[in-house]
Amino acid sequence: MADINDLRRERMALVEDGRSLLEAVEAESRALTDEEKTNDDSRADRIAELGGTIDRLERQEKFESEISHVPEPASRPVVEARKVETPEDNAQEAFGRYLRLGETRALSADLDVEGGYTVPDTFRNELIKKIDDLVYIRQAATVISAVQGSLGIPTLANDPADSDWTAELATGGTDSTMSFGKRELNPKPLAKKIKVSNKLLRASAIGVEALVRDRLAYKFAITEEKAFLTGDGSGQPLGVFTASAAGISTGRDVSTGNTISSVTFDGLINALYTLKAAYWGGAVLLGHRDLFKQVRKLKDGDGQYIWQPGGQAGQPDRVLGVPFIMSEYAPNTFATGNYVGIIANFEHYYIADALQLTLQRLVELYAETNQIGFIGRLETDGMPVLEEAFVRIKLA
């Protein structure tokens, strides 16, 4: 039988080697090379293997110790075999690698950064976390269930020409202008998998499973929001900040009045009045907080700030009478020719859902490593369907 102390020393040495590699990579501000990734994965596999072996040996020693202290009865019964549970992977420094290098591993209870911080001797029933970024587009858009997996929306591409003044019995000229088109949405799959050790689920002071569900839902919402704003339409939704004949063309870009690095009062007025008045009622001005840091300082010809605070509780602040939305995912590179904001009625952004967010619990698949998997899935698509309801603000 292998010496358990030798195995512990080998495992610790491998862990230290992995830590030294990550610290060196971080100090050099670079990613792992292909060879380093291969070696690091092999090292992680060996650490996991050693952890399992050590755990089995410890369990066996404990079992034998318990048996040795049991007095032998006059008539010794048959001792039934005890099934030793396969231990959870307690050795992967996964979460640290995920944060630093984007590698995916599992959450477990033995390593602090992988969830061990949620399993102390005493713990308040609360969680310290960063504030969630807000998402807006799905709330404001038109959401449709695409039961058949795709959705075609007919569009009136061109109106007929104006009517003709004519005589009582005449019919006027035959129109050749009116035409139709179609916006087509094909929901694309979006998925994410998380593995959590059974020990963490069992011993944590907070509801880890509920937390996993909550965070998956949040991260799906963020991924959607980014695509609804800046997606290129290839394998993902088409965003409003992406110039496209299939969505919003460059004919809806307004840069007149702005400088190469900032928006101006005149530039905002030009953008607003490019939007037809009929859309103003549901329109918002959306941009990054860096945009509104600029807008907050703008004044009109009388020296008054154009920023208008909400007059009552629950009423939004406004710019030129239009409510504003600060999104962390709007473009914020203030340089020549870049988009920095949009004035739009987002009712004319359509979202087609073929599969709403579902969460599948995988109990048996990872039983060998004493883990449970969670897979989140949804299928959705989105695009602007009426470009005249959108005006993009562009720098000169």
Asked whether residue 109 is domain-assigned, the answer is: no
Same domain, 231 and 325: yes
The structure tokens 């990734």 sit at 37
Percent pLDDT > 90 in the chain is 40
- pLDDT, residue 109, reads 53
Q: Across all residues in the chain, what is the average pLDDT?
A: 81
Average pLDDT rounded to a whole number, residues 213-241? 94
- pLDDT, residue 143, reads 93
pLDDT tens string 178-192: 887 778 899 999 999
Average pLDDT rounded to a whole number, residues 134-155? 85
Same domain, 90 and 237: no
Q: Identify the burial level of 216 via C-beta atoms within 10 angstroms of its C-beta, where 0-12 means exposed, 13-18 middle and 19 or more buried.
A: buried
Query: Considering only CA atoms, which of 238, 225, 186 is closest in space to residue 387?
Result: 238
Asked whether residue 284 is domain-assigned, the answer is: yes
Question: How many structural domains comprise the chain?
Answer: 2
Same domain, 330 and 252: yes
DSSP letters, 72-119, are PPSSPPPPPPPPPPPPP-----HHHHHHHH-----B-SSSGGGTGGG-
- pLDDT, residue 90, reads 39
Q: What is the helix (H) or strand (E) element at residue 344, kind and residue range?
A: strand 339-344
- pLDDT, residue 256, reads 97
* Cβ atoms of residues 248 and 394 within 8 Å: no
Cα–Cα separations (whole angstroms), residue 239 to 307, 351, 353, 369? 27, 11, 16, 41
pLDDT at 224 over 70: yes
Same domain, 32 and 153: no
Cα–Cα dist 374/359, whole Å: 7
Alpha helices in 115-203 (DSSP H): 137-140, 198-203
Asked whether residue 70 is domain-assigned, the answer is: no
Asked whether residue 200 is domain-assigned, the answer is: no
Same domain, 242 and 328: yes
pLDDT tens string 316-340: 889 999 999 999 999 999 999 999 9
Asked whether residue 201 is domain-assigned, the answer is: no
- pLDDT, residue 395, reads 98
pLDDT at 296 over 50: yes
Same domain, 38 and 135: no
Same domain, 90 and 134: no
Same domain, 52 and 139: no
Average pLDDT rounded to a whole number, residues 30-41? 84
- pLDDT, residue 62, reads 60
Average pLDDT rounded to a whole number, residues 301-320? 82
Cα–Cα separations (whole angstroms), residue 108 to 15, 243, 322? 16, 44, 48
Q: How confident is the model at residue 59 (pLDDT cuts 50, 70, 90)?
A: low
| Of the listed ranges 121-130, 197-206, 370-379, the one predicted with least confidence | 121-130
pLDDT at 12 over 90: no
* Cβ atoms of residues 44 and 98 within 8 Å: no
- pLDDT, residue 277, reads 94
Cα–Cα dist 213/137, whole Å: 22
* Domain, as residue range, for 309: 129-157+180-187+222-396
Same domain, 96 and 153: no
Q: What is the helix (H) or strand (E) element at residue 215, kind and residue range?
A: helix 208-230
pLDDT at 132 over 80: no
- pLDDT, residue 64, reads 59
| Of the listed ranges 83-97, 162-176, 294-308, 372-386, the one predicted with least confidence | 83-97
Average pLDDT rounded to a whole number, residues 72-97? 40
Asked whether residue 256 is domain-assigned, the answer is: yes
Q: How confident is the model at residue 108 (pLDDT cuts 50, 70, 90)?
A: low
Cα–Cα separations (whole angstroms), residue 212 to 18, 178, 376? 27, 52, 10
Average pLDDT rounded to a whole number, residues 354-359? 88
- pLDDT, residue 232, reads 96
Asked whether residue 287 is domain-assigned, the answer is: yes
Asked whether residue 175 is domain-assigned, the answer is: no
Same domain, 96 and 152: no
- pLDDT, residue 221, reads 92
pLDDT at 201 over 80: no
Same domain, 317 and 378: yes
Same domain, 260 and 295: yes
